[in-house]
Amino acid sequence: MDDDTVIRALYDKYRRPLYGYVLRSVGGDRQYAEDIVQETMARAWSHASELDPDRAGRWLFTVARNLVISGHRKQAARVTEVPIDDREFAALGDDIDHVLQVWQVIEVMRGLSHDHRQVIVELFYKRRTVNEAAVVLGVPPGTVKSRSYYALHALRAALEERGVTGS
């Protein structure tokens, strides 16, 4: 896929969610939000050969987040008499950090075996009991327990490798 095709695909897929995220992050300043999105896409263009449009969301949101934070820092340096409210600045990181962690969990889940992934989905996403999951999966409850044990260990190890820690 050539660079122009990659950028068009990124723009079509991520422009609106990226704009919405940035708009909330900059307090509703539409022009500034559009500038951030455009700068994010310009940086994506310079890395187009490395980006896969189906998996570039985390990268794009991280770039946008860093641009917003950088903008806040520049503004704080210029206007010293009006400090940034700490609660507002902390909330900025909370949303995107959560989104990034979810994407990382999804990627790690794809790397689990089919059986382990099924057990995790049944127990933790569908909130079934061990016995309910056993019935749905057609295996004994002991197998569900064993698979969940090994699946959680594999999931935890893969997430730790990526620097994602539980909070």
Number of Cβ atoms within 10 Å of the Cβ of 136: 14
Q: What pLDDT does 72 receive?
A: 59
Do 102 and 24 reside in the same domain of the chain?
Answer: yes
Whether residue 72 sits in one domain with residue 134: no
pTM value surpassing 0.85: no
Q: What is the CATH number of the domain that holds 93?
A: 1.10.1740.10
pLDDT digits (tens, 9 = 90+) for 35-47: 999 999 888 888 8
Averaged pLDDT of the chain: 81
Q: Would you say 30 and 23 are in contact if contact means Cβ atoms under 8 Å apart?
A: yes
Q: How far apart are CA 72 and CA 58, in angstroms?
A: 21
Rounded to whole angstroms, how far apart are CA atoms 23 and 37? 10
In this structure, are 32 and 68 located in the same domain? yes
Last residue of a domain, one of 111, 131, 152: 111
Residue 119 belongs to domain spanning:
112-167
Q: Considering 111, 137, 159, which residue would you say is the last residue of a domain?
A: 111
In the predicted model, is pLDDT for residue 162 greater than 80? no
Regarding whether 56 and 133 lie in a shared domain, the answer is no
87 and 37 inside one domain: yes
Are residues 83 and 13 part of one domain? yes
Q: Are residues 104 and 161 in the same domain?
A: no
Is it the case that residue 167 has pLDDT exceeding 70? no
Q: Which residue has the higher pLDDT, 156 or 82?
A: 156
- Confidence grade of residue 74 (pLDDT, cut at 50, 70, 90): low
Q: What average pLDDT does this structure show over 135-163?
A: 89
More reliable by pLDDT, 115 or 163: 115
Same domain flag for 105 and 123: no
Does 105 lie in the same domain as 142? no
Q: Are residues 21 and 101 in the same domain?
A: yes
In a shared domain, residues 120 and 160: yes
In the predicted structure, residue 126 carries a pLDDT above the cut 60: yes
User: How many domains would you assign to the chain?
Assistant: 2
